[in-house]
Amino acid sequence: MLLEVANLTKRFGGLQVLDDVSFALHEGEILGLIGPNGAGKSTLFNLITGVYRPNEGQIRFQGKSLVNLKPHRVCRRGIARTFQLVKIFPSMTVLENVLAGAVYGRSSGRKNALAEARGCLEILNLAEVSDTPAAHLTYSDRRLVEIARAIAAKPRLALLDEPLAGLNPAETEKIMGVIKDIRSLRGISIIWIEHKIDAVFNVCDRIVVLDYGRKIAEGQPREIAAHQKVVEAYLGEPLA
Amino acid sequence: MLDFIPPIDILLQLLINGVLFGTMYGIAAIGLSLIFGTMRIVFIAQGTMIILAAYGSFWLFNLWSVNPYVSILIVVPASLIVGSGLYQVLFRKVAREGQFPTLLIAFGLMALLENLMSVVFSADARAIQTSYAAYALTFMGLKISFTRLMAFVMAVAGTVGVAFFLKKTLLGKAVRAASENLEYAMLVGITPHMVNTLTFAIGIGLAGLAGVATATAYAFDPFSGFVFSLKAMIALALGGMGNVVGALLGGLLLGVIEAFGAFFLSGGWADVISYAVFLLVLMFKPEGLFASGTSAKP
Amino acid sequence: MKTMGQNSKSKRRLALTVVVVALLTAVPGVLDPETSYVVFLLFSAFIYVALAQAWNLVSGYTGQVSLGNHAFFGLGAYVIAIGWSRGLIGYLDPLGMLLAGCAAAILGILVGIPLLSKLRGDYFALGTLGLGEILRLVTIQGRALTAGPTGIFLPSSSFTTIVPYYFMALFLALLATGVTYYMVKSNTGLALVATRDDEAAAAAIGINILKFKVLAFAVGAFLAGLCGALQAYYVFHVEPQGFFSLSWTIYPVLMCVLGGVGTLTGPVVGAVFLTAAFEVAKYYLPEIHPIFSGLLIILVIMFLPNGLVRLRRGRIVRNPKAA
Amino acid sequence: MANPLLNVVDLNVFHGEAQALWDISFQIQAGEVFAIIGSNGAGKSTILKTLAGLLRPSAGRVEFLGSRIDGRSAARIVDLGLALVPEGRGLFSGLTVAENLELGAFTKRARPLMKQTMEEMAATFQIIRIRSDQLAGKMSGGEQQMLAIAKALMSKPRLLMLDEPSLGLAPLVVKTVFEIIATLKQQGVTILLVEQNIHQALRIADHACVIKTGRITLVGTGKELLSDPEIHKAYMGSLR
Amino acid sequence: MMMTLRGPRLMGLSLVFVAAMMLGLPTAVPAADKNEIVIGATLPLTGMLSMMGAEQKWAYEQAAADINAEGGIYVKEYDKKLPVKLIVADNETDAGKAVAAIERLVKVDKVDFLLSDSTLPLVMPTAVAAEKWKVYYHATICLLPPWQEQKFKWSTDYFFDGAQATAVPFEVLDTIPEADRPKKLALLAEDSTDGRILGPIFKEAGKQYGYEFDYEEPVAVGSKDYSSQILKLKSKGIDGAILFAGSGDCVTFVRQMKEVGLNLKYLHGYKGTWGTEFWNALGQDAEYILADGFWSETYPYPRAEEIGERYYQNFNKRSVSIGLFYALCQTLFQAIEAAGTLDGAKVREAVLTTEFKGTVMGDIKYNPDGTAVFPLAAFQWQEGLLRRVYPFVEGASPVLIAPPWDKR
């Protein structure tokens, strides 16, 4: 078991954002995390990465608790992430962005980090723009840079928060390929929040569905697709 | 240094003096708070604006024998106009550039005004000399300076006026709305420039009021504004930024701290204490001592 | 980054730097330092370069607007004054100056940790501003240790020539620029700029934000402390009013802004330019030049908010599509 | 067809240097409900923000009541009668319910009618009557959403734009919100609705369009789209 | 990080610009044949002390104009009279800036001599600078002990003697009939360099005259509120005080004294009470308050009255200090003539050995250690005018006891 989330609960003021959520992730798995807006998916990421502290519940990574660790510590344990609203470092070049990920993740030494960074840029087909200031990239390239930066930290687990949002079909295909590559080439496990459900169904091994802060379903894509509650959660009510 | 235990009436007198003087910090802090709340400008020239207004009142009295309390009618409206002008000329363009450009402009304005005043008015300490300048009321054996009491009344009136404006008028509500969320405010038809001009005018208008109070009750020179600004910042930090009543309370608290500090230690240490309180509050309770229980955002 | 195929460019830059430094080194040999005012002006310009660079590192690269340069500057000066007047360190003593810098750095760390972990930008600026005021007031109350408001007089008979001051100031300017260059170009720089650009993302890739903010703050404090130490040796009289004067913060800030915040050459350009401009203003407008300075600050910010260095870059790489 | 109330022609919008909308065109007739649907990040909110004057289009034009409004200030646009309830509801949480409503009528046109409109709102929305002195921030999500709509109506809008009114609300509350929208429609208010709850949205909409990665992919009446399999694919992908 | 690579070129440009500016600064050509004596002074023309600086500058200019009207100073070395050229540089009331200004006077303007800056915090560092550049510095308004401690070789200091100055109140008090004298005295010295130095000396002087202070405490500089302290005075029954503070602080203090109802029979102000502005700010409430003064135009010395009158014509107010600055110039000019050269060391020698006669401060004689003293005067506000009550030489008025506030 790479990651275990047990009975996780988070409240903001009176608002219950996550309610007793439990699931586990196996080594090498790609886990889809879906659910309507406001279901608590990003909050879950923020809890895992130490941005927030849970009110109740446990998070264990490789058997050790992550609760109360600061975000940078969580990263050094081997969990990297991307953000729903792309967060790159606009005043750095693409290579510098990724290098920062490599240096402060788990690479040792500048030389190794540089090689690592270049390797990541290769995988994501960003080598050509490596000296471009990140501020000047297209939206989809920013997404790619963010992913490259995350995997440059050599994580065991990557948390991807809507990497496909705002991308056109070609770009979507590209990133789906990248996600598969990350696992196959680097052996990184992935939890993937996504609204583009077809993509999730095509790539993920398993899917967890959240709605109003609760886990309403978990299983293989085929099971989830047939799950009545999931369809309701997404389309509002049963189809006529 | 506690060489004697002070009788209770002296303690009360200290409290009164502290409160009376603290309102001056408070009223300066309210102006800062408004300007900071809507534009995120740390307007370090506020104290210097107060001194400028004090000179206005001083010269009105000395050249045309305008009663200083009547001069409010001239100085405050003039300050309102100067305030909106300052925003239009100095800050309108730069307000979007972020924090330190505006801070530096405020600092430049301070340097400019201080030296302009010292050249034009000379660096001598001034004070308005009236028949009641050093008159004190006696109340239950306690002496209450008339001019300071008037300054207190003016400060309270100013605070109440601003609070009324913010609470009860549509424009005031618009100011509060804009300082809470500018984008939402724009969606209901509030224009940022209007709100900014308004808050700057009011902020400097308050400086005008404080200036008259200073001129009547205290001695001042062109350079005494900076310390005023710093103290107002402390009051602001104590009260919590963007909080009108908190700013006044912060000022009162600071005044009382200083009065007692000066009595029990010495004048020099009183200042050290107020800055130390300032740093401690910033470090451990940056939302201010009087912050209302708004839910801490996640 | 030199690994990025900019070798020829960086070589040219290096060569230019070497030439400039060589020229500056030759100045006291060409001009008679005892009679030439230029040597002195350069000396004060160098101190401002170092101070501006110190602020640049904290605020330009890390994004924390500090108004506490003068606190560290004054502290450095007092370390020298107290140490020298008690015979613990000597005249133009490098170890003493190092001590002064370290004292400032330690204060920076002690104050930086609580301030930087708790405060947002505006509050941090105010907090550091308060720090300078506190130190000034405490030295006034410092009785025998700081000699109160009188300040400490140092044995001025030690002075023989301005030459060592010139070179020490040059060294400080180079040190500050070099340290900034090194920090920015090294892994540290990645962390600093990452933190400035986006704290959440920086933390997510394993950067200990607080550590790097405090590090930059402490290094800035160290450099400011060194400058204060040298100024103490130069004036031979360390007193609270002058050494904890806010102008030791504001002028460097202005120089950075004029030259270009967050650039390596910006503070250098700004410091040299403004030192000269203020000098000329003082000469021709002896009684009203502070008005001119105030006006200059306002005009610079209003019309050159990004500074000279940035201005040029902006023109070259402007993206026409940007709305 | 009569002259449309709102005519959007070839709108192109950038977020910084990344293009967010491509050639968006649609019309809204007076009195109808028009829905824009699409997944997260597709650009729905960007359209609304551009129409409301918060963003400036780089190309294209927006005509409202026959005159161009693109490039005008947000304040001018709301005065002309285009009110937006933004994502996040746009309430001033530190102000009371009554104050929020008053500010809703801040525009020159609406201000003289404030009292009267307020009474109308009190008639429509129960909560306003009971809790006018309560801080808006202290109300529940559903109440806030009602208040947000009421506040927008205070400006006497000719076109009301709602950005995801059902976001983060419990199913029962969502139902109430849509009932309100239906009532407004009956009262003749023209509504531009952005929703991800497609069923609810399409059922109430006269016309709708689907937006995907910044481009309009489908246009039609609500009914047509409701039964269009493409819609389900857009959301649920290979679910079907 | 996108380092801009255009920096160096810009830097080069700015260096050129700076060089151009340097050329813009007029540089004096070292004259092979001297045709004027260049005397420089750094003064607080801007900032806190700009009032004092302006007054001092005026006095220097008068003295220079007066000597030039006589054709200048005869210098034996050149066998002719050389006119005086006075150059005043601003120090912004800041020690660091003062030192930089000296640097410019020495190196750009090539001054032959330096005249005094204003007040100890500025005079001391400028004296150090003069020491560095070996230019003779003719100083004043700097308390003697700190100056003596430094054993300066290139400056002299002409100021009042602490013991004499602090004895003034007691000498004046002694003239009051014993029954009317205040019973309990307080010493309130400002929390500044001067205040700290003078505080203990006041106590010492008091002892010698048989007076004791029942209360003493430093006064915070620039505070707007002294009521805490005044309350303490009142609670201790103080009825006489020496107040050493700046003018704004003195105004505040006196006002609050009246507000709180503290009656002092005798209030001797130092530094802050002699200005016309002090009277203007307090009006009748300033009556009976004493003030110190460096000089008086009522002194029975040549031209004292004339200089005072000239000042009055110019500024429409009286001064108790310009005579000191004027006399300072007089002694420097006389010393230059006596030395017969512009060599700083020799002129200093001449300053120490010459007996200066008939200055507006009377006769002046320097001690071998480079100091010279003058008696500090005391004035009392009487009907809006400063009447000299000390020294008790010709023209002095008797001191009056202040009635309680409610009896005025």
The second-level CATH assignment, the architecture, of E35-161+302-374 is 3-Layer(aba) Sandwich (3.40)
Chain C residues within an 8 Å CB radius of A146: 201
User: Residues A214-226: pLDDT tens digits?
Assistant: 898 899 988 888 8
Which pLDDT score, from 0 to 100, does residue C318 have? 31
Judging contacts by C-beta atoms under 8 Å, the chain B residues touching residue A13 are: 295
pLDDT mean over A125-139: 84
Mean pLDDT along residues A185-196: 88
What CATH topology corresponds to D6-81+158-239? Rossmann fold (3.40.50)
Contact B126 E225 (CB under 8 A): no
CA angle E204, E208, E209 (to 5 degrees): 120
More confident residue, D127 or A119: A119
E222 torsion bin: left (phi>0), alpha (psi -120 to 50), beta (else): left
E85 backbone dihedrals φ, ψ, rounded to 5°:
-115, 120
| Sign of the CA dihedral running E391, E395, E397, E398 | positive
Listed by start position, the domains of chain B span 26-284
Rg of chain A in Å (alpha carbons): 18
For residue B262, the SS3 value is: helix
* Domain ranges (residues) in chain C: 38-245
Task: Please say if the pLDDT value at position E167 is more than 50.
Answer: yes
Fold held by E163-300+377-407: Rossmann fold (3.40.50)
DSSP-assigned letters across all residues of B132-191: TTT-EEEETTEEEEHHHHHHHHHHHHHHHHHHHHHHHSHHHHHHHHHHH-HHHHHHTT--
Average pLDDT, stretch A154-177?
Answer: 85
Q: Helix, strand, or coil here: A5?
A: strand
Q: Nearest chain E Cα to A136, which residue?
A: E2
Does the pTM exceed 0.90?
A: no
More confident residue, A21 or C287: A21
Residues of chain D with C-beta less than 8 angstroms from the C-beta of B294 = 94, 137
* Average pLDDT, integer, range E17-28: 54
Partnered with residue D195 across adjacent β-strands are: D37
Look at strands D207-212 and E155-160 and give their pairing: unpaired
- For the cut 60, the answer to whether the pLDDT of residue C320 exceeds it is no
Average pLDDT along chain E: 87
Strand-pairing partners, residue E362, are E359
Which pLDDT belongs to residue C156? Answer: 79
Q: Mean pLDDT over residues E232-236, rounded?
A: 87
Partners of residue E128 in chain C, C-beta under 8 Å: 153, 156, 235-237
C121:B99 CB<8 A: yes
Out of A50-54, B260-264, E195-199, the most confident range is: A50-54
Q: According to the model, what pLDDT value does residue E343 have?
A: 92
pLDDT at res. E17: 60
Q: Say whether pLDDT at E126 is over 50.
A: yes
Q: Which residues of E45-58 are buried (b: 16+ CB within 10 A; e: fewer)?
A: bbbbbbbbbbbbbb
For residue A186, report the phi and psi dihedrals to the nearest 5 degrees: -115, -10
C1: pLDDT confidence band, cut at 50, 70 and 90? very low
Pairing of strands E155-160, E136-140: parallel
Report the distance separating Cα E49 and Cα E33, nearest Å. 38
**Which chains border A (3 or more CB–CB pairs < 8 Å)?**
B, C, D, E
| Cβ pair E380, E289 in contact under 8 A | yes
| B17-61 confidence digits (pLDDT tens) | 888 888 888 888 999 888 888 888 888 899 999 999 999 999 999
- Residue A238 has a pLDDT of 45
In the predicted structure, residue B289 carries a pLDDT above the cut 90: no
Q: Which residue has the higher pLDDT, B58 or C261?
A: B58
Instruction: Calculate how close chain E gets to B62, using CA atoms only, in Å.
Output: 10
What's the CA gap between C83 and B54, in Å, rounded?
45
Q: From the list A87, A93, A110, which residue is nearest C201 (CB)?
A: A87
Q: Summarize pLDDT for B59-91 with one digit per residue, the tens.
A: 999 899 888 898 999 999 999 999 999 999 888
CB contact under 8 A, C291 and B116: yes
DSSP 3-state of E81 = strand
Q: What is the pLDDT of residue E325?
A: 96
Q: Which of A71, A99, A106 sits opposite C203 (nearest CB)?
A: A71
Residues 150-209 of B with CB under 8 A from D: 170, 173-174, 176-177, 180-181, 183-191
> Could you tell me the CA-to-CA distances from B264 to B94, B173, E164, E217 in Å, in that order?
46, 44, 33, 11
Chain E segment 1-60 residues within 8 A of A by beta carbon are 1-2
Nearest CA in chain A to D168: A38
Can chain E be said to touch chain D, i.e. do they have 3 or more Cβ pairs within 8 angstroms?
A: no
Residue closest to E106 by CA, chosen among E70, E63, E135: E135
**Tens-digit pLDDT profile for residues E54-69:** 899 999 999 999 999 9
Nearest to D125 by CA among D68, D52, D47, D177: D177
Max Cα-Cα span within chain C: 65
Distance CA E131, CA A207 (A): 83
- The whole-number pLDDT of residue C154 equals 86
B130 burial via Cβ count (<10 Å: 0-12, 13-18, 19+): middle
In this predicted structure, what is the pLDDT of residue E127?
92
pLDDT for D158 beyond 50: yes
CB contact under 8 A, A104 and C317: no
Q: How far is residue D196's CA from residue D40's CA, in Å, rounded to a whole number?
A: 8
Q: What is the pLDDT of residue D1?
A: 52
C318 part of contact set with chain D, CB < 8 Å: no
Model confidence at C323: pLDDT above 50 = no
Domain boundaries, chain D: 6-81+158-239, 90-152
User: Per residue in E86-122, pLDDT tens?
Assistant: 999 998 888 888 998 998 899 888 899 999 999 888 9
Q: What distance in Å separates the CA atoms of residue E160 and residue E166, rounded to the nearest whole number?
A: 10
E382, two tokens: 């009487």
* Whether residue A178 has pLDDT greater than 50: yes
Q: Which of residues 58-77 of D touch B (CB under 8 A)?
A: 73-75
Q: Assess whether pLDDT exceeds 60 at residue D137.
A: yes
Q: What mean pLDDT is reported for chain D? A: 85
**Minimum CA–CA partner of B242 in chain D:** D94
Among the partner-chain residues E14, E96, E101, the one whose CB lies closest to the CB of C272 is E14
Least reliable range by pLDDT among A40-49, D39-48, E65-74, E114-123 = D39-48
CA angle D38, D44, D45 (to 5 degrees): 140
Q: Which of residues 175-194 of B touch A (CB under 8 A)?
A: none
Q: Which of C117-121, D5-9, E49-53, E228-232 is least confident?
A: C117-121
- B45 reaches C (C-beta below 8 A): no
Averaged pLDDT for residues C101-116: 92
Q: What pLDDT shows up at residue D238?
A: 41
Is the pLDDT confidence value at E16 over 70? Answer: no
| Amino acid B12: pLDDT | 84
More confidently predicted of C27 and B198 = B198
User: How far, in Å, are A227, C198, C304 from residue A216 at the CA level?
Assistant: 9, 34, 57
Q: Which residue of B has its CA nearest to E220?
A: B267
Subunit contact D106:B183, Cβ cutoff 8 A: no
Separation in Å, CA of A186 to nearest CA in chain D: 28
User: E75 forms bridges with which residues in the sheet?
Assistant: E80
Smallest CA-to-CA distance from C241 within E95, E10, E265 is with E95
Q: Give residue B167's Cα distance to chain centre.
A: 20
Strands E73-75 vs A56-61: parallel, antiparallel or unpaired: unpaired
Is B294 near chain A, with CB under 8 Å? no
Quote the CA–CA distance of E40 and C240 in Å, as a whole number.
Answer: 27
**Angle in degrees, CA C149, C152, C157, rounded to 5:** 145
State mean pLDDT over E278-292.
89
pLDDT at B298 over 50: no
* Residues forming CATH 3.40.50.2300 domain(s) in chain E: 35-161+302-374, 163-300+377-407
Report how far residue E126's alpha carbon sits from residue E139's, in angstroms, rounded to the nearest whole number.
9
For residue D147 the two structure tokens come to 């208040």
| Cβ separation C289–E90 shorter than 8 A | yes
Please give the share of chain C, as a percent, with pLDDT higher than 90: 32
Nearest to C225 by CA among C134, C107, C126: C107
Residue E23 is predicted with a pLDDT of 53
* Interchain CB distance below 8 Å, D237 and A234: no
Confidence band for D2, pLDDT divided at 50, 70 and 90: low
Which residues have a Cβ under 8 Å from the Cβ of D224 and sit 6 or more positions away?
none
Task: Classify residue A19 as exposed, middle or buried by CB count within 10 Å of its CB (0-12, 13-18, 19+).
Answer: middle
Domain B26-284, CATH: 1.10.3470
> Tell me: the pLDDT tens digits for A59-116?
999 999 998 899 999 998 999 999 988 889 988 889 999 999 888 877 667 778 888 8
From the list B170, B184, B191, which residue is nearest D90 (CB)?
A: B184
Residue C70 CA: distances (Å) to CA of A203, B112, C51, C154, E258? 58, 21, 9, 21, 40
**Residues 26-45 (A) with a CB less than 8 A from some CB of E:** none
Helix/strand/coil (H, E, C) string of chain C? CHHHCCHHHHHHHHHHHHHHHHHHHHHHHHCCCCCCHHHHHHHHHHHHHHHHHHHHHHHHHCCCCCCCHHHHHHHHHHHHHHHHHCCCCCCCCHHHHHHHHHHHHHHHHHHHHHHHHHCCHHHHHHHHHHHHHHHHHHHHCCHHHHCHHHCEECCHHHCCCCHHHHHHHHHHHHHHHHHHHHHHHCHHHHHHHHHHHCHHHHHHCCCCHHHHHHHHHHHHHHHHHHHHHHHHHHHCEECHHHHCCCHHHHHHHHHHHHHCCCCCCHHHHHHHHHHHHHHHHHHHCCCCHHHHHHHHHHHHHHHCCCHHHHHHHHHHHCCCCCC
Residues 6+ apart with CB under 8 A from C266: C56, C60, C256, C258, C259, C260, C307, C308, C309, C310, E7
Residue of chain A nearest C208, judged by CA positions: A72
- Is the pLDDT at D233 greater than 90? The verdict is no
Is the confidence at residue D28, as pLDDT, over 80? yes
In chain C, residues with a C-beta closer than 8 Å to the C-beta of B111 are 290-291, 293-294, 297
ipTM: 0.83
- CB proximity A52 to B under 8 Å: yes
Stretch A130-151: mean pLDDT: 86
**Helix axes of B192-217 and B72-86: crossing angle, nearest 10 degrees:** 140
B42–C130 C-beta distance less than 8 A: no
Of B110, B115, B275, the CB nearest to C288: B115
Coil, helix or strand for A99?
A: helix
Question: Mean per-residue pLDDT for D110-120?
Answer: 88
**pLDDT of amino acid E14:** 57
